[in-house]
Amino acid sequence: MNATGPTIAGSGTAELQFTLNGKQQRLTLDPSRRLADILRSELDCLDVKIGCNAGDCGACTVLLDGKAVCACITACGRIDGGVLETAHGLTRRDPDGIKLAAAFHRHGAAQCGICTPGMIATATALLRPRTELTETAVADGLGGVLCRCTGYRKIIDAVLDAQDGSAWPTHNDHKPAGHAGEAIQRLDGFAKVMGGEMFGDDVAPQNSLVVKVIRSPFAHAGFSFGDLAAYRKKHPGIALILTSADIPGKNCFGVIAPFADQPVFAEDFVRFRGEAVAAVVGDAATIAGLDTDDFPVNWQERPALAGMPAALQAGAVQIQPGRAGNVMCEGFVARGQLEDGYAGSDVIVEAEFSTGFIEHAYIEPEAGYARKVGNRLEIYASTQSPYMDRDSMAAIMGLKPEQIRIVPTACGGGFGSKLDLSMQPFVGLAAWILQKPVRIAYSRTESMQSTTKRHPSAISIKMGASKDGRIKVLDFCGDFDTGAYASWGPTVANRVPVHASGPYYIANYRARSRAIHTHCPPSGAFRGFGVPQSAVAQESVLDDVAEKLGIDRLEIRRINALKNHQPTVTGQIFTKGVGIKQCLDALISPWERALTEAKRLNAEAIAAGSPIRRGVGVASAWYGCGNTSLPNPSTIRAGIREDGKVVLHQGAVDIGQGSNTVIAQIFATAMGIRVTDLQIIGADTDLSPDAGKTSASRQTYVTGNAARLTGENLRRQILRLGNVSERAVIQFEDGAIHLLDHGLERRIILADELPVNRHGYVLEAEETYDPPTRPLDANGQGDPYAVYGYAAHMVELDVDTALGTVKLLRFHAAHDVGKAINPMLIEGQVEGGIAQGIGLALMEEYLPGRTENLHDYLIPTFGDVPEIRTLIIQVEDGHGPYGAKGLGEHVLIPTAPAVLNAIKHATGIRIRHLPATPSKIMAALRQGGPDE
Ligand code: FES
């Protein structure tokens, strides 16, 4: 840096000279501006991602004079005379950066990829001193960068590998067939590790107008606007002020049509803190300098129903019309007779559990832009559900669905929340009216205040079992706080009663659930649709039953594990594919070893007066893949161009879970070609058919089947054309298909022999798959899902009984995936899911008005996620492509109950109200009993 600091160039500005990724730069600007802002807006460094703008997440980390700094909290005056390096430059110019990019790719250490540039920049600084790094040193060194997808383990592996490993090429450069079962690297992974991935805030044209949303500071309030025209006049850069009066169609959206109830802009009164009432559109400088506190809106705060107890009280204000008592909907499953079950039980355990709001905390806040093209509206945004967005936007805009084009950008994490509309109506409406591109990027606080959460739950549960360990009866009753609007509340209410048994055979069963409105942010989909909450209760009481009976906790699960030909609690019978017993069996050896070790360590600790106690916990899970008893189709199209290129229209949005790779692997297997032969066109409502939403662990199973059918169809067409047998090998050459069949060779010259269709293909196939399900009757009996996946997690941990802290030591995670299409991606999903389960168990709770940023809302960091041993179990399913089952949500469900069961094993206390923070553990220890 210059000894005298930056040269002052005029009022409030300075001339800064610096090196950026090896190039000299000179800029004159306000030296107090955020470096992240300058890098992105003035220097086109879109690899610098902004996750929080507060120095909490580390996504924007760059190297300044070799040191890692958060660019969002660094004043750009600091760079004068300095050397700046970002991921884009490091992964092309720096030997360590190049090795890191290759290692991240090899290990699948970038899932959604939004944190990856910051990780690579930080890791480069760590590698440069050439000090031998250990796992702990890597975790400590990268501890300031958050990742919500990977669970950090593969990032640690990648950095250690880069320390001594090679750079490019990676496995995929050897052109693997990439068929089902091969652990190939992500087909879309290169951009993620090279800083080239374009997310919602990276795609808007220069000089787009910007939207700022005006939101309620109150959970419940009436409001009226003051003089909007005067406000606009006071700020000449404002192009438009939007309110509900500007909506040409319906001021209403929702993911489940019969329950749609959420306005784009509230009218007259608001139902939750953070609800939108208006939006201001203007040039970037005006919007950045706007003080929205003086926006002319008059609030009249009203008493708010802040939780379910208040909302359910007699006489409580009714939050939504037509939903008496604030009960939005109910779910019910019953089988057998509870009385018979109690009569046959030798022990009965009854308990109550609760969980709070959980924030998705993806590192990419909601962002995107819209533009009007002719009489159509195009929206480029981060989403999990392009076709649902299209239809919702058409209703809001009063347009036909064909007039809306949704182009998903790369999605920097979704986990369910980006299934709902968020910013799309604001940019869409503004762009349509102004006929100019309009962009938005939510602030972290805005994202946390206004988007959906995991449902808080209040559960009572009663389980009875006979002395041989067989569960005779289960009665479950759960209320779920769905907040001010419906979102996915109906899905939670329906799905929970089906799953609350766990993957066990239970003859006498009743499960009731309700979704309750409160004056809280809407609860929606979050990895599991309520099942992680119900599993906490059900797996905890099962442990307590085992303890009362004196039966080993793993053994009681094996005794009750559902088997082929046994009815589920909805009466569904699977003749193959039920894999929970195999998952539990895979844990026997580590379980016995860990229990022996825990016994020895605890005896030694007691003898030494140490407060540390070792605990070992286990929990099971099952999860139905796809919608509950509802149509759930996916369509895949593929075509061959006359130049011989195979194009796969893969519309299953890849939010980091890997559908771009897995669906391509399934298609390539079915067609009998190399996955590297494919050109993939991703989700875009103009270009790819509807592959449904990325949720409910459905893409590998449902869209995978559509891809398998499409691949088989295209293969059949080619073989027929070449008049060769089913065993023929297909190869592509420039403009031709080469067929080899038992020594016979055929060559199809595409341009000469076949006409080009309307999609530009000489051969094309398009297939749809919809899971075979059967509706549930009044007692919840039916076939809600064609496929379930199964899982069992075991954890070893230490509890410090003097401090109440929990140190996780190791997870063993057994997952029945039917067929492991890509084992590396499976491990990544498992590790990321466990990290989120750890958050649910030990630290996360969203409190409106209190934990609205990533400083106060804690998610697991590197140091919180221990070693994870993934055990892949493959019990072939009868419906899944090549036997595959879904996985996305299964990975989280057993984690929290396994942790709680291990805490109980270590200390004797049962934590029933999550999260199990040190203060709750200490309070329970002091009482010598449960946390209440
Ligand atoms: Fe780290 Fe998604 S890969 S946040």
- Mean pLDDT confidence for 112-128: 98
361 within ligand 1 shell (Cβ under 6 A): no
Between CA 525 and CA 480 the distance in angstroms is 12
Q: Is 59 in the pocket of ligand 1 (CB under 6 A)?
A: no
The residue among 649, 594, 533 whose CA lies nearest residue 797 is: 594
| Span 214-223, pLDDT tens digits | 999 999 999 9
Residue 111 Cα: closest atom of ligand 1:
3
Tokens 């006498």 correspond to 508
Q: Is 110 in the pocket of ligand 1 (CB under 6 A)?
A: yes
Which residues, in sequence order, are bridge partners of residue 791? 621, 815
Instruction: Give the pLDDT confidence of 236-290 residue by residue, as tens digits.
Output: 999 999 999 999 999 999 999 999 999 999 999 999 999 999 999 999 999 999 9
The per-residue DSSP string of 400-432 comes to: -GGGEEEEE-B-S--TTGGGS-SSHHHHHHHHH
Q: Name the residue with tokens 């069949």.
A: 741
Q: Which two tokens stand for residue 709?
A: 């059918």
- Residue 931 pLDDT > 50, yes or no? no
Give 426 Cα–ligand 1 centroid separation in angstroms.
Answer: 26
Residue 739 CA to residue 710 CA, distance in Å, equals 19
CB distance 449 to 273 below 8 Å: yes
pLDDT-based confidence at 932, cuts 50/70/90?
very low
DSSP 8-state code for residue 165: S
Phi and psi angles of residue 407, each rounded to the nearest 5 degrees, phi first: -115, 100
Q: Per-residue pLDDT tens for 782-837?
A: 999 999 999 999 999 999 999 999 999 999 999 999 999 999 999 999 999 999 99
Residue 416 Cα, ligand 1 centroid: separation in angstroms? 15
Q: Is 506 in the pocket of ligand 1 (CB under 6 A)?
A: no
Q: List, in sequence order, every residue forming a beta bridge with 477; answer none if it has no partner.
A: 460, 512
Q: Is the CB of 907 under 6 A from ligand 1?
A: no
Please answer whether residues 632 and 771 qualify as being in contact, where contact means their C-beta atoms are separated by less than 8 angstroms.
yes
| Nearest in space to 584 (alpha carbons), one of 616, 555, 552 | 555
Per-residue pLDDT, 924: 96
Question: Is any atom of ligand 1 closer than 6 Å to the C-beta of 709?
Answer: no
> 835: Cβ below 6 Å to ligand 1?
no
Give 151 Cα–ligand 1 centroid separation in angstroms: 9
Q: Are 871 and 163 in contact (CB under 8 A)?
A: no
Please say whether the beta carbons of 502 and 545 come within 8 A. Answer: no
The helix, strand and coil proportions of the chain, stated in percent and rounded to the nearest 5, come to: 35, 25, 40
Question: pLDDT tens digit string along 284-334?
Answer: 999 999 988 899 999 999 999 999 999 999 999 999 999 999 999 999 999
Cis bond leading into 169, ω under 30°?
yes
Question: For ligand 1, is residue 287 a contact (CB within 6 Å)?
Answer: no
Q: Are strands 471-483 and 508-517 parallel, antiparallel or unpaired?
A: parallel
| Helices marked H in 327-482 | 338-343, 386-397, 424-434, 444-450
User: Does the C-beta of 452 come closer than 6 Å to ligand 1?
Assistant: no
Tokens of 589: 């050896």
Whether 2 shows a pLDDT value over 50: the answer reads no
Pocket test for ligand 1, best of 149, 156, 186 (most atoms within 8 A of CB): 149
Q: Atom 4, ligand 1: which residue's CA is nearest?
A: 147
Residue 112 near ligand 1, beta carbon < 6 Å: yes
Probe target for ligand 1 pocket from 107, 111, 142, with the most ligand atoms within 8 Å of CB: 111
Ligand 1 centroid–CA 552 distance in Å is: 38
Using the predicted structure, report yes or no on whether residue 490 has a pLDDT greater than 70: yes
Tell whether ligand 1 has an atom less than 6 A from the beta carbon of residue 282. Answer: no
652 lines ligand 1 (CB under 6 A): no
Q: Is the CB of 150 under 6 A from ligand 1?
A: yes
What pLDDT is stored for residue 651 in this prediction?
Answer: 94
* Cβ 119 under 6 angstroms from ligand 1: no
Query: From the alpha carbon of 656, which atom of ligand 1 is closest?
Result: 2
Q: Which amino acid is at 444?
A: R
| pLDDT, position 10 | 56
For ligand 1, say whether the CB of 148 is within 6 Å of any of its atoms. Answer: yes
Q: How confident is the model at residue 734 (pLDDT cuts 50, 70, 90)?
A: confident
Beta carbon of 413 within 6 Å of any ligand 1 atom: yes
Task: Report the pLDDT averaged over residues 671-695.
Answer: 94
Ligand 1 center to 43 CA (angstroms): 24
Whose C-alpha lies nearest to ligand 1, atom 1? 147
Reply yes or no on whether the pLDDT at 3 is more than 50. no
**Ligand 1 nearest-atom number relative to CA 119:** 1
Quote the ligand 1 centre to 423 CA distance (angstroms): 21
% of the chain exceeding 70 in pLDDT: 98
Q: Which atom of ligand 1 is nearest to the CA of 149?
A: 2
For ligand 1, say whether the CB of 818 is within 6 Å of any of its atoms: no
Cite the beta strand spans of 484-524 per DSSP E: 508-517
The rounded distance, in Å, linking the Cα atoms of 585 and 790 is 13
Q: With a 6 A CB cut-off, is 193 part of the ligand 1 pocket?
A: no
Each residue's pLDDT tens digit, 506-550: 999 999 999 999 999 999 999 999 999 999 999 999 999 999 999
Question: Do you know the residue count of the chain?
Answer: 932
The CA distance from 324 to 728, in Å, is 65
Strands lying side by side in the sheet with 238-242: 238-242, 276-282, 209-215, 438-441, 367-373, 376-381, 404-408
Lowest-confidence pick of 141-155, 299-313, 315-329, 624-638: 624-638
851: closest CA among 863, 839, 862?
A: 839
What contacts 328, CB < 8 A, 6 or more positions away?
Answer: 259, 320, 482, 486, 489, 490, 493, 514, 515, 516, 517
Question: With a 6 A CB cut-off, is 147 part of the ligand 1 pocket?
Answer: yes
What is the value of pTM for the model shown?
A: 0.96
Q: Is the N-terminal amide bond of 31 cis, ω within 30° of 0?
A: no
Per-residue confidence (pLDDT) for residue 120, from 0 to 100: 98
Taking CA atoms, 400 is separated from 264, 396, 692, in Å, by 18, 10, 19
Q: Across all residues in the chain, what is the average pLDDT?
A: 95
pLDDT at residue 174, as a whole number: 66
Closest atom of ligand 1 relative to the 364 alpha carbon:
4
Q: Which atom of ligand 1 is nearest to the CA of 363?
A: 4
Given this model, what pLDDT does residue 928 score? Answer: 77
Q: How confident is the model at residue 751 (pLDDT cuts 50, 70, 90)?
A: confident
- Residue 169: the pLDDT is 65
β-pair partners for 331: 513
Tell me what the mean pLDDT of segment 348-354 comes to: 98
Of 148, 115, 693, the closest CA to residue 383 belongs to: 693
Q: Which atom of ligand 1 is nearest to the CA of 109?
A: 3
**In sequence order, what are the residues at sequence separation of 6 or more whose Cβ sits closer than 8 angstroms to the Cβ of residue 291?**
none
Instruction: For ligand 1, say whether the CB of 149 is within 6 Å of any of its atoms.
Output: yes
Spatial separation of the C-alpha atoms in residues 875 and 77, rounded to whole Å: 60
Q: What is the mean pLDDT of residues 684-690?
A: 97
Give the whole-angstrom CA distance, residue 900 versus residue 884: 30
**Cβ of residue 146 lying under 6 Å from some atom of ligand 1:** no
Ligand 1 pocket test, candidate residues 50, 56, 57, 116, most atoms within 8 A of CB: 116
Lookup result for tokens 């909805």: 570
- Mutate which of 114, 153, 827 for ligand 1? The one with the most ligand atoms within 8 Å of its CB, which is 114
739: phi then psi, degrees, rounded to nearest 5: -120, 135
Task: Confirm if 254 and 487 have CB atoms less than 8 A apart.
Answer: yes
* pLDDT for the residue 165: 72
Looking at ligand 1, which atom is closest to the CA of residue 362? 4
Strands of 508-517's sheet in order across = 327-335, 508-517, 471-483, 457-465, 347-355
